[in-house]
Structure 1
Amino acid sequence: MSEPTHAEYIAALIDLHRGLPRQGPGDPELTRQLLCRLPTLPAHPRIADLGCGSGAATLLLAKHYGSLVRAVDAAPDFIEELRDKAAAAGLDHLVEAVCTDMATLDWPRASIDLLWSEGAAYNLGFEQALRAWHPIVSTGGVAVVSEMSWFSDTVPDPARRFWESAYPTMGTEQQNIGRAETAGFSVVFTERLPSNAWWEHYYGPLRERMRRPDVAGMNQAVIRETEQEMALFERYSDCYGYTFYILQRP
């Protein structure tokens, strides 16, 4: 069987993640902790969640601040899921779900006080994403962006080979701090996502989904790579993972 095209691969990846509580690693309790540590924001901040998926962070942000959250994702399926979840939670008046490319937002300059993005910047490249988003963040505004990061300069070969193929520009935390500063942000602090959160909130539900009979007919290249990714993280999670970069526009 021939390898899938990029479009076919992305479609299969979206299909695999449809209906899951999250489309990437994260932890609601850590999110709440981070919100309590952010620099001071306006009483009703203007908020954006970029690469929102089906809205795990969107709904938490809307409830925490009681402010409108503009949630952006390029996958129509996830946007529809978010709209349904917001309505079910009674938060639909606080969620503006937008299906568009987060790389080409035509929003006014300085129109966002809190920009949130979990596990999505890699689609553009970390520094490229921050450069693209910098103009829409207000002076003194905050960007909270989680990014795959090496925790060590010494990485076992299997993990390095996998991620050099999957995400060639993946950097160390120090490199990413430098990239954020080059993009025009100051770094307030960083916080790693605990490895157990990957399993509890993302890999665990995803593994259960992969055991369902209907997944057997799905694109097997996606399944194989996902299984390989899980196996590597199980062995080498002390070497890499997601780091939250809490940034401020001076």
Structure 2
Amino acid sequence: MSTDSEYIAALIDLHRGRDRQGPGDSDFSCHILSNLATLPLKPRIADLGCGSGAGALLLAQHYQSTVVAVDSAAVFIDELTARAKQLGLDRLIMPIQGDMANLDRSVGVFDLLWSEGAIYHLGFDRGLKLWRPLLTDSGIAVISELSWFIDRPPDPAIAYWQNAYPMMGTEAENIDRANRSGFRVLSTHRLPSQAWWVNYYEPLRERMQQIEITPITRSVIHETEAEMRMFERFSDSYGYTFYVLQAV
């Protein structure tokens, strides 16, 4: 029987060498950035749960400003560092291997906090409360969270996510959580389902053909394939919503 640490190591290995460790899309992110409230010319930026750096590198390119990029997995921090150097952005990327639940103001106070597909490790409500002190007054947070799109999702989807992520809420519930955590919700944006397939699931399927199969990796692959089948059936009921929040 595998331990939690062995399972997490296998999950990380499955995601190695991929541009993204979760659903996302650069054009979609750029659209959100282009419509943000006014930020300083050189905003202080953090990307929490940055993975191998899809968001952090985009933010550095977009703002030409330093991005503090935090992830707990050393392998992803190493990949980010290498990618930043290849793109000539290493002077703008400050990689930190650390726990995004235990950051404090000594890390910095930021004008823009970005996090894609990572806050679920903490829970949306808890994560917002932990991260609010990292923002300046009126600072902006852009955070994607797995969310129900409808009030009465199909029973199979409910059963699956009650087991996988029981804290998952509707968009309305998450807006209320944000309001109670020291934020004002400026806008919400649903990530198109195509971005899940093109930028995340299909590269994962390719990776599944490359890794060494062990009992642990077989379990990880089985669960990932189950997630894919669920999304294929019910992507009209749930997905990632990007919440654009302003500290108040």
1:32 aligns with 30
Tell me the TM-score normalised to structure 1 length.
0.96
Aligned 1:37-116 pairs, distance under 5 A: 37-108=35-106, 111-116=109-114
Tell me the TM-score normalised to structure 2 length.
0.97
CA distance in 2, matches of 1:160, 1:170: 10
Q: Measured at CA, do residues 137 and 38 of structure 1 come closer, stay the same or move farther in structure 2, by a change above 3 Å?
A: same
Structure 1: 4+ residue segments shifted above 3 A: none
Contact 1:209 1:215 in 2 (8 A): no
CA RMSD of aligned residues (A): 1.2
Contact 1:73 1:99 in 2 (8 A): yes
Aligned 1:207-222 pairs, distance under 5 A: 207-212=205-210, 214-217=211-214, 219-222=217-220
Sequence identity of aligned pairs in percent?
Answer: 57
CA distance in 2, matches of 1:186, 1:121: 18
Deviation string 1:11-68 (CA, Å, 9 cap, x unpaired) is: 1110100001100000000000000111110010000000000000100000000000
Contact 1:193 1:243 in 2 (8 A): yes
Residue 117 of structure 1 deviates from its aligned partner by 0.2
Aligned 1:113-132 pairs, distance under 5 A: 113-132=111-130
CA distance in 1, matches of 2:208, 2:97: 26
CA distance in 2, matches of 1:25, 1:249: 26
Q: Which amino acid is 2:149 matched to?
A: F
Comparing 77-86 with 203-212, which one deviates more in the overlay?
203-212
Contact 2:149 2:238 in 1 (8 A): yes
Contact 2:50 2:71 in 1 (8 A): yes
Aligned residues: 247
Q: Which runs of 5+ in 2 are unaligned?
A: none
Residue 110 of structure 1 deviates from its aligned partner by 7.3
Deviation string 1:62-117 (CA, Å, 9 cap, x unpaired) is: 00000000000000000000000000000000000000000001224971000000
Q: Which runs of 5+ in 1 are unaligned?
A: none
1:143 aligns with 141
Contact 2:105 2:133 in 1 (8 A): no
Residue 8 of structure 1 deviates from its aligned partner by 1.4
